[in-house]
Amino acid sequence: MDVLVSPSYQPFVVAGLVMASLVLIETVSLVAGFSLSHFVDKGFDLEAHSGHHADPWDNGILAGILGWINAGRVPALVFIITWLAAFAAAGFALQTAAIWVWAPLPVLIACLLASLLAAPVTRVTTRWVSFIIPREETYVVSHDDLVGRIAEVTLGPLDQGPAGRIKLQDIHGNWHFPMARAAKDHGPIPIGAQVLLVDRTGSTFLAIPAPEQLKTTR
């Protein structure tokens, strides 16, 4: 318990608490039928305001650094949570090792070293996560363009209750990961099932089981 109030550990305790809070909020929001990740991604989608593809990570040297650790290749919330977890873990490890050897590192130096250690960990972790949770590329097509396409249920089952989540590719091959419910008189549709998107309400799609002739091979 003393670690939680020690000045040497405070930045990493705060990072860990923020990370845990984000995970909790995202979990609760998914159960409630919406996703915090969706709104965070919208906050980074500058194209909707400019009329052009504007990458929020595109800022010279910063873009190179963030690109190297895969920022923008996974949902923004996933990237933030992963970095916070890596930063907190690295900071705790550094300070514990330093105390064991002699004395805790100055907080600023510990934070800088933890940030450097967190970068490669975030790069490796998000690379693996990107294969499981593809980033939603909303700037290429509108939601209406996705109606009529085949998707796979990744969080479900889909019914008329709280929305689940699906993944699909648009005509350009970009991945989307929106929310969905089963259309009226359909459901429950289990995780892993392929569905046909027949309509949408706001950003939530309505889906039915995909007809056999439309199902895609895996």
pLDDT(97) > 60: yes
Q: pLDDT tens, 48-84? A: 333 334 444 444 454 455 555 555 556 777 888 889 9
Residue 158 carries which DSSP code? Answer: B
Res 151 pLDDT > 70 = yes
pLDDT tens-digit profile of 153-204? 998 899 988 889 999 888 877 778 888 999 988 879 999 999 999 998 888 9
| Beta-bridge partners for 86 | none
Assess whether pLDDT exceeds 60 at residue 135.
no
pLDDT score recorded for residue 66: 55
Higher pLDDT residue, 131 or 107? 107
pLDDT, position 85:
93
Mean pLDDT, the chain, whole residue set: 77
Looking at residue 151, its amino acid is A
How is residue 144 written in tokens?
């209406």
Helix (H, G, I), strand (E, B) or coil at 105: coil
Domains, the chain, with CATH or none: 2-132 (no CATH), 143-214 (2.40.50.140)
In percent, the amount of the chain with pLDDT more than 90 equals 34
Question: Can you give the pLDDT at residue 176?
Answer: 84
Question: Which secondary structure element, helix H or strand E, spans residue 151, and what is its range?
Answer: strand 150-155
Going by the DSSP 8-state scheme, the letter that residue 60 receives in this structure is T
The band of 132, judged by pLDDT with boundaries at 50, 70 and 90, is low
- Please check whether residue 176 is in contact with residue 186, taking contact to mean a CB–CB distance below 8 angstroms: no
Higher-confidence residue of 156 and 107: namely: 107
Helices (H), the chain: 2-5, 10-32, 36-43, 47-50, 61-68, 76-101, 107-132
